[in-house]
Structure 1
Amino acid sequence: MKNQISVEAQMLIRKPVEQVFQAFIDPALTVHFWFTKSSGKLEIGKTVIWEWEMYDVKSTATVQDIITNEKITVLWGPPETLVEFKFKSLSPDRTYVTIHQKGFQQVGDELLQVLIDSTGGFTTVLDGCKAYLEHGINLNLIADKFPKEAML
């Protein structure tokens, strides 16, 4: 049984909502701040494979819903969770992005660790997106989060 606990991360990005939205839809942009490879652009009903090649990790995302410049909803996993990306235009050049994840299947200490990892991970994604879109800088945040040398 999935529990009702969820996580959320958010960030103001000083770019038009259309540009921020496209950064999450189009993997040619997303690779600059999140995953390193994708099997395709996000479209309703489509399942894409996201890869983090430096960690030899792959995950699937099945697009449930897209409302242009407002929302992207995916089933992400395994284990499968529902992730919703919301985009709110605050002005012509300011967008507030919220990432909400729910439907975790873990319990106890395992659930606590997943919640910590998800919150931190999505915060890192938003930080990287902000740096890339606002300043044209790829901070390599995802690659540098767990360098091999530090894991020995």
Structure 2
Amino acid sequence: MSTTAYVEAQMLIRKPVEEVFEAFINPEVTTNFWFTKSTGKLEEGKIITWEWEMYGAKSDVKVNQIIPNQLIKTEWGEPSTQVDYEFKEMERGTLVVIKSYGFTQTGDDLAKIINDNTGGFTTVLDGCKAYLEHRIKLNLIEDKFPSK
């Protein structure tokens, strides 16, 4: 049973919508601010595996829908949730909104997953902004939970 709870994180990235959209579907770009490995570019109907080598973690990402320069709808995680990436062209750049929903947890477990998703997707957007606008790799994901 899924809840109506959801997570939403957003960020204005001062680059054209085509460049920002490409950053989320093309692992050659995405690996500069999010995961470390991918089995390929996001394509509608495909299942791609993302890997975070520093944590020994990976996730299969099912790509449900892609509308170029507007929307990427995916399903991933354990247990899986829906994650949508929306792109809106604005005067000063591109607004990226990440929405995560379809949580099955309840109570304290739901509060924890909402907190983790909010922080995680905010970190992704911060890293993406720094990389696309200034070509700076902040290593935010790698440094979030350092082992040593």
Range class of TM-score, shorter chain: over 0.9
- Please give the alpha-carbon distance, in whole angstroms, between the structure 2 residues aligned to 1:21 and 1:58: 22
DSSP 3-state at the match of 2:41: coil
The answer to whether residue 101 in structure 2 is matched with residue 113 in structure 1 is: no
Which residue in 1 is equivalent to 2:121?
Answer: 122
Listed as ranges, the gaps of 5+ residues in structure 2 are none
Q: Given the two structures, how large is their TM-score scaled by the length of structure 1?
A: 0.96
The answer to whether residue 13 in structure 2 is matched with residue 16 in structure 1 is: no
Which residue in 2 is equivalent to 1:148?
Answer: 147
Greater alpha carbon shift after TM alignment, 24-33 vs 76-85: 76-85
The answer to whether residue 93 in structure 2 is matched with residue 94 in structure 1 is: yes
Displacement of 1:77 after TM fit?
A: 1.8
DSSP 3-state at the match of 2:79: coil
Q: Does structure 2 retain, via aligned residues, the 8 Å contact 1:44–1:64?
A: yes
> RMSD value over aligned CA atoms?
0.7
The answer to whether residue 31 in structure 2 is matched with residue 27 in structure 1 is: no
Which residue in 2 is equivalent to 1:40?
Answer: 40
Q: Which amino acid aligns with 1:128?
A: G
- Listed one character per residue, the Cα deviations across residues 23-42 of structure 1 (whole Å, up to 9, x for unaligned) are 00000000000000001100
- Listed one character per residue, the Cα deviations across residues 63-87 of structure 1 (whole Å, up to 9, x for unaligned) are 0000000000001122110000000
Q: Does structure 2 retain, via aligned residues, the 8 Å contact 1:60–1:78?
A: no
- Please give the alpha-carbon distance, in whole angstroms, between the structure 1 residues aligned to 2:48 and 2:77: 11
The answer to whether residue 77 in structure 2 is matched with residue 77 in structure 1 is: yes
Displacement of 1:4 after TM fit?
A: 1.0
The answer to whether residue 3 in structure 2 is matched with residue 3 in structure 1 is: yes
Runs of 4+ in 1 over 6 A off after TM superposition: none
Aligned residues: 148
The answer to whether residue 64 in structure 2 is matched with residue 59 in structure 1 is: no
Q: Given the two structures, how large is their TM-score scaled by the length of structure 2?
A: 0.98
Listed as ranges, the gaps of 5+ residues in structure 1 are none
